[in-house]
A and B are shown apart, each in its own frame.
Chain A
């Protein structure tokens, strides 16, 4: 980047990834966001492609993507590109302090859900308990935790995988309150008092099995890795977590570390809601603030931003800018709108393209990588053209 400002609206995973690419190439980035972004709403795992249209789980997402043809965005993306994009994300996370699998994943792994089911995922933080094939496990039951019923999950796990699951229960510390959910546990376990208490509890369980010891995701926000390491030493077992419903500790960990790192790269975060984008390249906020935005990227396509608004007459409008971006009859318009930049239509990233449906197919991570990297290419291309002139 040539050092001129890029303004990104939205602080979900697409916004943060876009900011990272621009900042790492020397560009100046400002992120404008209204609200918290979507990261605390899910565990932080990135999916490539989990299911066939008929719901059958996919083991090899690389193969699936490169098999696509015609209008599908997969047709225009090579295996090599996918490997480059996933490697970049994995290495970036490692730089930021978000540990992932030791080796670059080639296939989908199995992630354990709070209901005791397994589902595919591609790149997950190392806190998440994932396995190549289902094996026997020990689930930790935590008093008062509404989002995770260990006994029911164990029964479901045995039914679904044919492998056994036993349950151990921890007690409650003196400062415990019946209101405590994963977040309160995590705050407690981040303190020295909490750490000593949980290690005492794990020690009390004794070493009598070599099954992985699986906690609901609550083992601290800031100190999770070192606590998990200590629990592994005390119990002499592999230790993992199951991501729960929001506020999701995994996503909170990812967001805090990623944003903290971005701030150190001099990325500025501006809080506010966008009202308009003027012809003079100024972003106007609802509270009257005006942000110069030579180049603008909308990363508002996720669950909270609303992304594209569909009108009864079929018009598609960008929900941030109120700009008409296409027609609903042509599903491809949703994708095309996300990848075009003219004077008034900014680039949009992180939204569904070309008939992909993250909710049904589990390809949200792929949507983020695809749209963000393509948008970045467009920005770089614009830079190169400006230089030629």
Chain B
């Protein structure tokens, strides 16, 4: 374990704020929680060889615990190192090894669903919906509405690149409409490392991240900022790379919704004039809450004229990257997702706005309504506008 982490976990005040924020603990009475699995276990493990604790793998790596800590104990990252001590059977190792390399897993998108017997063999949750490639037609939105706003890199995460390439094009069209010049990144599929770190493999995370950095590096010098679509990648690239990976992108990393704040007034006026009356539940993913905060997606929904929309109350939907795909997490992920589905029902929402692809499919499966990225909801509403004025 890195020595700097030793100093930090010893700083734990035992204030238990982390415990109060843990979504897994709130639905799984067997889970020992962030304080026990993070600083407490690490303190002992630092002094002598001890066994990893049961249920350490049940941590989703949402990092809400870490974000709540007043003295900056890297709780979730300590738990990731704790996970690394667990001895796993070979089948699990194969599965986890693949899921920790989502840029490679996404290349198999064309294969479609995995049949039942293979799922059992691979330890994939029986009933959970796996990602499938979405096909979407994306058209141009027209000339930029405002002044030129500089050149940005649009970071296409593994999920978007593999399963939802249309979303990337929709986001790029919106950014161009707002006056940005857009370069899509990375040129070849690459992972920031988030998936491997979450699965308890920090060395693989750093290797994946370094490979990605090399892929994007040549383009960076001429960019004003990098815009991210996925909340997890957003936090990983901006906050975790410098802190836990040992390198950084060296340009500002800005989430898509924050870039949307820069959209010209005319854009919002046009969206507000659309007659469609969809109601959305705006769910900021757990990692989005950690990386940038909360309330932004709801603000976007309101600003775009989705009247009657509401911010979601649930801390986490349970998907947590590939967490919900693993059979041992089916129950916890299901319970977390159920709370969000109840909110959809209560609001009678027509759709969910959320900033992660895997969360979206998990929410769609539970709630029965369409769950998509903010870029999708802004893009489709702007198309509505174009159709209505024609």
Contact = CB atoms under 8 A, between A and B. Distances in A.
A68 interface: no
Interface stretch (A58-66, A197-205, A261-269, A327-335): A261-269
A247 B16 contact: yes
Contact of A271 (B15, B293, B313): B293
B276 interface: no
A266 B68 CA distance: 22
A42 to B, nearest CB: 11
A260 B289 CA distance: 13
A35 B69 contact: yes
B292 A271 contact: yes
Interface residues of A, number: 32
Contact of B29 (A177, A256, A268, A271): A177
A143 interface: no
**Residue of A270, A272, A287 with highest tally of chain B CB at under 10 A:** A287
Interface centre among A41, A252, A263, A264 (most CB of B within 10 A): A263
Interface in B139-155: none
Contact of A187 (B25, B70, B294, B296): B25
5 contacts: A252-B20, A263-B294, A268-B294, A269-B295, A289-B254
A246 interface: yes
Contact of B17 (A36, A179, A266, A267): A36
6 closest Cβ contacts across the A-B interface? A247-B20, A36-B68, A270-B293, A268-B295, A269-B293, A263-B311
A43 to B, nearest CB: 13
B192 interface: no
A180 to B, nearest CB: 8
B299 interface: yes
Interface in A266-319: 266-272, 287-289, 304
B275 interface: no
A40 interface: yes
A183 B20 contact: yes
B105 interface: no
B294 A184 contact: no
Given A247-B16, A264-B310, A270-B293, A184 B68 contact: no
Interface string B55-83: 00000000000011110000000000000
A247 B293 contact: no
B311 A188 contact: no
Given A35-B67, A175-B29, A177-B29, A271 B19 contact: no
Interface string A237-270: 0000000001100001000100010111011111
A271 B291 contact: yes
B298 A271 contact: no
Interface of A: 35-36, 40-41, 175-177, 179-180, 183-184, 187-188, 246-247, 252, 256, 260, 262-264, 266-272, 287-289, 304
A35 B17 contact: yes
Contacts, number: 87
Nearest to B288: A271
B305 to A, nearest CB: 14
A366 to B, nearest CB: 24
B298 A263 contact: yes
A262 B313 CA distance: 12
Nearest to B240: A287
B94 interface: no
A1 to B, nearest CB: 17
A266 B69 contact: no
A36 B292 contact: no
A184 B290 CA distance: 23
Nearest to A174: B29
B70 A36 contact: yes
B313 A260 contact: yes
A35 B70 CA distance: 6
B123 interface: no
Contacts of B30: 177
Given A266-B298, A270-B293, A271-B289, A246 B16 contact: yes
Contacts of A180: 29
Given A252-B20, A288-B252, A184 B295 contact: no
Interface string B275-292: 000000000000001111
Contact of B27 (A35, A187, A287): A187
Contact of A247 (B19, B32, B291): B19
Most A CB contacts (10 A, CB to CB) among B20, B25, B299 go to: B20
Interface in B242-258: 242, 252-254
Contacts of A271: 67, 289-293
A188 B238 CA distance: 37
Given A36-B68, A263-B311, A184 B20 contact: no
B85 interface: no
Contact of A266 (B15, B16, B239, B299): B299
A287 B21 contact: no
B364 interface: no
A287 B239 CA distance: 6
A321 to B, nearest CB: 18
B343 to A, nearest CB: 11
Given A35-B17, A247-B19, A264 B29 contact: no
Contacts of A268: 293-296, 299
Contacts of B298: 263-264, 266
B26 interface: yes
B20 A40 contact: yes
B327 interface: no
Interface in B8-34: 15-17, 19-21, 25-27, 29-30, 32
Given A36-B70, A263-B298, 14 more contacts: A35-B69, A36-B68, A41-B17, A177-B30, A179-B36, A183-B20, A246-B16, A246-B17, A247-B17, A260-B313, A264-B310, A266-B299, A267-B295, A268-B294
Contacts of B20: 36, 40, 183, 246-247, 252
Contacts of A262: 295
B302 interface: yes
Contacts of B302: 266
Nearest to A180: B29
A41 B67 contact: no
Contact of B26 (A176, A179, A187, A270): A187
Nearest to A184: B29
A29 to B, nearest CB: 10
Nearest to B294: A269
A175 B26 CA distance: 13
A315 B36 CA distance: 40
Nearest to A32: B293
B270 to A, nearest CB: 20
Contacts of A288: 238, 252-253
Nearest to B258: A289
B321 to A, nearest CB: 19
Nearest to B290: A271
Contacts of A41: 15, 17
Contacts of B70: 35-36, 304
Nearest to B30: A177
Contact of A270 (B21, B27, B254, B292): B292
